[in-house]
């Protein structure tokens, strides 16, 4: 039996940064999803971190989309990734951000630094379970007492598209179930404070079936109906330290 692939190596090949970055500007569906993610990030900042001087860490920052979004919203932003190809683009796109090439699970170059906001997008459901656990333990260590960790599960197997794929006999990477995400967070000593679901309508991003303008209307409608939330393929989780451990007691329904 072959060893499980190590996600650390998945984006390190030369040219990967440019092709990955282009995918979010050229693919209409990915562009739409990123627009909705930004709207949710604005809401999260307002709900959980309003009025604070923010120190921000973007883990697995890739080509720096989150760093660019946080420019002007955070007092300082630091991006960390293991891929030189991805970081070359991140540095170009985010000249004001601190960009660090490191594997924090093997060499935690951040030392004792704490951050009010830690983001990690498009990482956890792609990573192997052992790497997920190692990473979230490091991120918790760098989370300030009142800080929040925001990460997304963009491969929720309970969503409609993977359900349909399974029904017709197509197999793919199983991603990470929301029960697994909850267990991961709890074992790291954190609470889930809010979940923001996206991408309810079953779509393959290369073949969106409907015009993106129509899909956007459908997704905006779905976001107003909480019962559809569990079927969202992209779930954005807001996590923090439990009450009594230095974390906020505020809870967002």
**Over the stretch 6-38, which tens digit does the pLDDT of each residue have?**
999 989 999 999 999 998 888 999 999 999 999
Return the CATH number at 42: 3.40.50.150
The pLDDT score that the predictor gives to residue 144 is 97
Residue 61 has pLDDT above 90, yes or no: yes
Tell me which residue of 115, 104, 135, 102 sits closest to 54, measured CA to CA.
Answer: 115
Q: What is the CA radius of gyration of the chain?
A: 18
Q: How far apart, in whole angstroms, are the C-alpha atoms of residue 245 and residue 194? A: 18
Question: Structurally, how many domains does the chain consist of?
Answer: 1
173 near 140, Cβ under 8 Å? no
* Residue 41 belongs to a domain: yes
* Residue 37 belongs to a domain: yes
* Residue 36 belongs to a domain: yes
The pLDDT score that the predictor gives to residue 3 is 59
Which domain range does residue 44 map to? Answer: 27-54+98-240
* Residue 150 belongs to a domain: yes
**Over the stretch 231-252, which tens digit does the pLDDT of each residue have?**
999 999 999 999 876 554 343 3
For 127, residues 6+ apart whose C-beta sits below 8 A from its C-beta are: 7, 135
* Residue 177 belongs to a domain: yes
Q: What is the pTM of this model?
A: 0.92
Residue with tokens 């309970």: 158
* Residue 59 belongs to a domain: no
Number of residues written out for the chain: 253
**Over the stretch 73-95, which tens digit does the pLDDT of each residue have?**
999 999 999 999 999 999 999 99
């Amino acid at each position: 039996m072959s060893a499980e692939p190590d996600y650390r190596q998945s984006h390190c090949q030369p040219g990967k940064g440019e092709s990955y970055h282009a995918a979010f500007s050229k693919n209409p569906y990915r562009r739409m999803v990123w627009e909705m993610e930004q709207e949710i990030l604005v809401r999260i900042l307002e709900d959980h971190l309003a009025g604070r001087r923010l120190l921000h860490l973007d883990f697995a920052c890739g080509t720096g989309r989150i760093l660019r979004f946080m420019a002007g919203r955070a007092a300082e932003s630091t991006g960390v990734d293991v891929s030189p190809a991805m970081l070359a683009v991140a540095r170009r796109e985010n000249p004001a951000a601190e960009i660090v090439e490191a594997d924090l699970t093997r060499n935690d170059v951040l030392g004792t630094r704490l951050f009010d906001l830690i983001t990690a997008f498009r990482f956890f459901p792609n990573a192997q379970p052992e790497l997920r656990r190692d990473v979230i333990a490091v991120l918790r260590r760098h989370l300030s007492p009142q800080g929040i960790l925001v990460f997304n599960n963009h491969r929720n197997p309970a969503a409609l598209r993977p359900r349909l794929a399974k029904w017709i006999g197509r197999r793919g990477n199983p991603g990470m179930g929301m029960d697994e995400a909850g267990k991961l967070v709890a074992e790291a000593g954190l609470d889930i404070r809010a979940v923001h679901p996206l991408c309810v309508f079953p779509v393959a991003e290369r073949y969106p079936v409907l015009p993106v303008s129509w899909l956007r209307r459908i997704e905006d409608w779905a976001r107003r109906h909480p019962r559809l939330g569990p079927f969202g393929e992209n779930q954005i989780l807001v996590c923090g330290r439990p009450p009594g451990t230095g974390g906020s007691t505020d809870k967002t329904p």
